[in-house]
Amino acid sequence: MYQATLSRRSYRFNDLRQLLAKASPARSGDYLAEVAADSAEERMAARIALADVPLKTFLQQLLVPYEHDEVTRLIVDSHDALAFAPISHLTVGDFRDWLLSEQADSAMLARVAAGITPEMAAAVSKLMRNQDLILVAKKCRVITRFRNTLGLPGRLSVRLQPNHPTDSLQGIAASMLDGLLYGCGDAVVGINPASDSLPLLEKLNYMLDDVIQRFAIPTQSCVLTHVTNTLRLMERGVPVDLVFQSIAGTEAANQGFGINLALLAEAQQAALSLNRGTLGNNVMYFETGQGSCLSSNAHHGVDQQTCEARAYAVARHFSPLLINTVVGFIGPEYLYDGKQIIRAGLEDHFCGKLLGLPLGCDVCYTNHAEADQDDMDTLLTLLATGGLTFLIGVPGADDIMLNYQSTSFHDALYIRELLGLKHAPEFADWLTKMQITDERGQLRDTAANHPLLLALQGERR
């Protein structure tokens, strides 16, 4: 039992699960799950009580039973007590103060990351203002490698997302060329296929590999199909760089995705055996999003933001090259408007970086949400200020296959110019070599006889 008194009224919270849910900022998904605070006063009372909870409590009182959930078992069994030692004496409120202090610099945050559980990260985020989330995330340094180096300070990468509603190879190639000539694609060239046809998935993988190899582009490709399809492709000898999978924060929700930890481990080992990375062996790419556990009725009464943080434990176990939250993609049932989407994006970024993950974000919304592109401009700017690893690049910001609004190649130009952010170093050198950018990293005017344009014309013939 946890309690706090506010305005001469005493509020009681039955357990840690309820306390965390009541302390969460208001969002439609928690109201849908009937776990949200009934009033702003109750929310504040929950935060006051949560601030006094020792961090050690999260190792003793589990939100989802150990015997029923493999994600819980992963969190408990992989906890690093030595890394936890420097902060083990703190309460959640003390932890917030420590994270904002000069003592918690980048090196110290890296040392304690393995000792922080997702529930600890979620709890402290509930006590933080937006500026707190941005400042701490900025201090976290997470660097990964495959064919280039991602996550270095002062750098921001872009996933080039050339989706097409009929998986037209020519349409995808045109969008890919467009993105490359805008300097996008250093995080990954990643296609969401409209079909699960293995022959088509093969063609997409071979096409991406051909472009990357032909022009010696220091980047990686990914066809974002189900992990079981990717395993079958690798068995056929198809050139697979990264293994993709959507993941969630409970075993039951992951079962809804058709996965478990053993399957992800099998796929990781298969990808590692291909030895396709030139600089590193981070071969996994994960996507998450608040509301996935609730949408599959697999949240165990846990609020959606804490469930999201638990998904990061799954990702952390497999040392991914990339992970991003598709923050506004699931819809207004879970994040109703721009304000909720912005807050959720900052929470996800903070929790992921704090746990040692290369967190990116699909800064996005669906057309039936109470949000618009101005809200996305705000979230993009805040995330990039906080050291975002990568964002999504879609032609015109309008994904014509997935039917949602994301960020464009032009948005990447805006945020790089605003904050002086550069590409991944190896990709930056390639852009200069290909005369796409000048020595300062500024885009050049592309001539009609540019090799990439000539290659596309050849594909069309």
pLDDT of 441: 85
In angstroms, the Cα distances linking 139 to 108, 349, 360, 418 are 10, 12, 15, 20
pLDDT digits (tens, 9 = 90+) for 249-302: 999 999 999 999 999 999 999 999 999 999 999 999 999 999 999 999 999 999
Handedness of CA 418, 420, 426, 431 (dihedral sign): positive
The region, left, alpha or beta by phi > 0 then psi within -120 to 50, assigned to residue 403 is left
pLDDT of 221: 98
d(CA 176, CA 160): 7
**pTM score of the predicted model:** 0.96
Low-confidence stretches of the chain (pLDDT < 70) are 447-448, 456-461
pLDDT of 460: 52
pLDDT of 452: 84
pLDDT of 214: 95
- What long-range pairs does 425-432 form, CB within 8 A, spacing at least 24? 425/148, 425/149, 425/152, 425/155, 426/147, 426/148, 426/149, 426/218, 426/279, 427/148, 427/157, 427/185, 427/186, 427/217, 427/218, 427/219, 428/186, 429/218, 430/216, 430/217, 430/218, 431/183
The region, left, alpha or beta by phi > 0 then psi within -120 to 50, assigned to residue 90 is beta
One-letter-per-residue 3-state SS of the chain: CEEEEECCEEEEECCHHHHHHHHCCCCHHHHHCCCCCCCHHHHHHHHHHHHCCECCHHHHCCCCCHHHCHHHHHHHHCCCHHHHHHHCCCEHHHHHHHHHCCCCCHHHHHHHHHHCCHHHHHHHHCCCCHHHHHHHHHHCCCCEECCCEECCCCECEEEECCCCCCCCHHHHHHHHHHHHHCCCCCCEEEECCCCCCHHHHHHHHHHHHHHHHHCCCCCCEEECCCHHHHHHHHHCCCCCCCEEEECCCCHHHHHHCCCCHHHHHHHHHHHHHHCCCCCCCCCEEEEECCCHHHHCCCCCCCCHHHHHHHHHHHHHHCCCCEEEECCCCCCCCCCCEHHHHHHHHHHHHHHHHHCCCCEEECCCECCCCECCHHHHHHHHHHHHHCCCCEEEEEHHHEECCCCEECCEHHHHHHHHHHHCCECCHHHHHHHHHCCCECCCCCECCCCCCCHHHHHHHHHHC
